[in-house]
Amino acid sequence: MRQRAWTHWQTPATGAVPGLAVAIALAVPVLVAGPASAGTSRPDVAPDAGDGTQVVVVTASRAGGNSPSAGIIQRTAIEIRQPASLLELIDATPGVRAVTTGGPGGSSAVSLRGGESNFTAILLDGVRLNDPTNVEGGAFDFGLLDPQLVERIEVVPSAVSAVHGADALSGAVQIITRDPARAELQAGGAVWADTRRGAAISASVSAGWGSGGVLGAAGTYDSGAGDPAGTARRDQLFIKAGQSAGGMELSLVALHGALDATGFAQDSGGPQLAVIRTPEIRSRELDLLAVTARGTGTLRPNLILSQVRQQGEAITPPIAPGVLPGVPAVTARDRFARTEATGWLAWDASPALTVSAGVGFVREDGTSIGSLDVGFALPVVFAQVRETGAVFAEASWRLPDGVTLDAAARRDRLSGADTASTWRLALGWSPQALPGLRLSASAGTGFKPPSLYALGHPLIGDRDLRPERSQAVEAGLAWPLPGGTARLVLFESRYRDLIDFDPVAFRLTNRDRVTVRGVTFLASFAPAPDWQLDAGLARLDLDSPAPLRGRPDWQGDFTATVRRGPQTLFATLRWTGTLTDSSIPTGAVEVPPTVEVDAGVSWRVGADVTLGLAVRDLGDERRPDAVGTPGPGRSLRLSLQIG
C-alpha cells in the first residue's frame, strides 16, 4: 500500500510512520550489456543503417528528428549476451540505471538521469506498457518480456511528453520487436544455462510471401534455485504479422507474458538481515494486442490501435521493526486495462521540412482488491477510470550549413477537465568545415498524472493530487575518433509537484522539488581492424530536500572486443560509485563504490550456429542487490544460438 512516487529514505527523525513511511528502494547492482561488436551495442551511438546513414530514433520524434542523447541498443548485444532480462542491456547507457531490486524475482527499476522508475514511459512498438494501478505508481515489470523478441531498444533520457504524453517525465524507453521474414521460411532458437542453475530456451518460426510475413515465437526462463534472494519464472508467447497494401504498411502484434516470482519483501533486509523469513509470492500477466497502419510516400497517414491488459497478485509477509518501524502484511490483487488510439498525418512539405500532426485517446481502467493486516484484515479496495484526449504537432527542419531544428508541442486533456501542455525543441549543427563534429542542444517539458493507485487508494490516496511536472535541458558535443565517435552531454532536469507520502497528514501529497544535474561521456572506436573499444562515464549531482536512494554519484563501464575469424572475445569492467540505500533493519546506509568484471567468447561454428561462453563477476565481488541482498557472485553461462 505504498506509492513509490519518489524514493526518499526516512528515519525516525524525519517522521516515519509504521507500515507506510518506508519508501521502496532502488537496487544497487549494475548489469552491463554485452560487448559492442558487429553493429555496436553501445546505446548512445546511433549505428549505421547499412548505407552510411544513421538509424532514426523513432522514440524521439514522429517527424524524423533525433534526440541529442538518444541511445540505441542493437540486437547484436542480445545475441552475444543472451540476457535474462532487458534491464541488463538498458543499464549500460551512461546516466541510466536499470536493475532488478532484491534478487531475480524483485521489481524492475529504470532510472533515467536520476528520475524515478515511474517517470519513464515504457513502449513496445509504440504501445505504452506502464501500469498506474501498482504500488510503484506506474512503473513496468521488465521480467514479463523475453529479450529474444527484441530487435532493438531506443532510450531517450530527457523529457519527451510532447511526443508521448503522460509518463515521459524523465524520458522514454521503446522496445522494438523483430519483424517477420518477407520472402522465405526461417526458423531459429536460443538456449542458455548457467552455474546458478538458471536456464532459458526460446524458438521462433517466420514465413514471408513478398508483400508480408508472420512471425511466431515462444520462450521460457527459470532463474533456478541458486540465489537465496528468490526465484523467477517467465513464459512468453508472441505473434507479429505484417502486410504491405495500397501504399500502407500494416502490422499486428499479439503478446502474452506470465511471471511467477518469490523473494524477500522490499526493505526487509533480504537473506542476510530479514527477521521474518517467509517469502513474498507474486505473479503477473501481460496481454497486448495492437494493430498499426503506417503510410508511405510524401503524405503518410499513421494509426495505432491497442489494448493492454495486466493483472497480478502479491502476498507480502510482514517486516519486523528494526532501526525503522516495521511493516504489516499486505495482500493485493490488481487488474488494469488500457485502450489507446493514436492517429497522425506526416507530410514531407519539402526535401528539408517534415511536419506531422495528430490526435490521441486513452482509456485506463484499474481495480485493486487487497488487505492490510493490522491485527485484523483491513480491506483495501479501489477502482478508478481515467480518459485522456490529446492533440499534438511536430516538425523537423534540415537547414543549410548542417543545421537541424526539431520542434514538438502537445496538449493533453484528462478526466475532470485537467489539462497539460508540453513542448520540446532540439537544435543541431554539423559544421561542414569540421567533418564529424556535431553540436547539439535540446529543451523540453514533461508531465505525469497521479497514478490510479495514488488517486484511489482508500487510506493514503487523494483525488486532488496535481500532475508531476518536469523541465529538462541538455547540450552535447560529438567528435570523430578512429573508426568511431565520442560524445559529451551536459544536462539538468527540474521536477516539481512530486508526489510523496506525508506522515503528518497520513496522505500522499504534492510537495517536493528536485533538481538533477550531470554529465555523460561516451567513446566508441576501433583502434585496429579487429578491435572495438567502448567506454561510458556518468556523473549525477542531486539537489533534493531529502536524500534519494539508489542513485550513484558516478557510473562507468569499459568494454574491449576482439574479433578473430569466427571467434569474438570480450571483457567488460563496470564501476558504480557511492550511493545511499536503506532497509528497515538498518535505516539509511552508504554503499561504497564497487567494481565488477565480465568476460566471454563466442564461436560461429556454422552459418547459423553460434556457441558462447561467458563469466560474470569474474572477481566474485557479490555487489549487493539491495541492503542485505548480496549479488549472486561469479557464474559461468553457456549458450547456443541457431539462426
**The domain 12-642 belongs to what CATH superfamily?**
TonB-dependent receptor, beta-barrel domain (2.40.170.20)
What single-letter amino acid sits at 57? Answer: V
Fill in the DSSP letter of residue 292: E
- pLDDT at residue 182, rounded to an integer: 79
Phi, psi of 44 (to 5 degrees): -95, 5
Rounded distance between C-alpha atoms, residue 587 and residue 534, angstroms: 38
Which tens digits make up the pLDDT trace of 371-429?
A: 999 889 999 999 999 999 999 999 999 999 899 999 999 999 988 768 899 999 999 99
Which tens digits make up the pLDDT trace of 245-289?
A: 988 999 999 999 999 999 999 899 999 999 999 999 999 999 999
Strand partners, 121: 172
**Contact (Cβ atoms closer than 8 angstroms) between residue 93 and residue 440:** no
Mean pLDDT along residues 66-95 = 83
CA 237 to chain CA centroid, nearest Å: 21
Phi/psi-derived region of residue 389, left when phi > 0, alpha when psi is between -120 and 50, beta in every other case: beta
Rounded distance between C-alpha atoms, residue 469 and residue 136, angstroms: 18
Largest CA distance in the chain: 75
Which tens digits make up the pLDDT trace of 428-462?
A: 999 988 999 999 999 999 999 999 999 999 988 99
Which tens digits make up the pLDDT trace of 536-573?
A: 999 999 998 877 888 899 999 899 999 998 999 999 99
Predicted TM-score (pTM) of the model is 0.89
Rounded distance between C-alpha atoms, residue 154 and residue 123, angstroms: 10
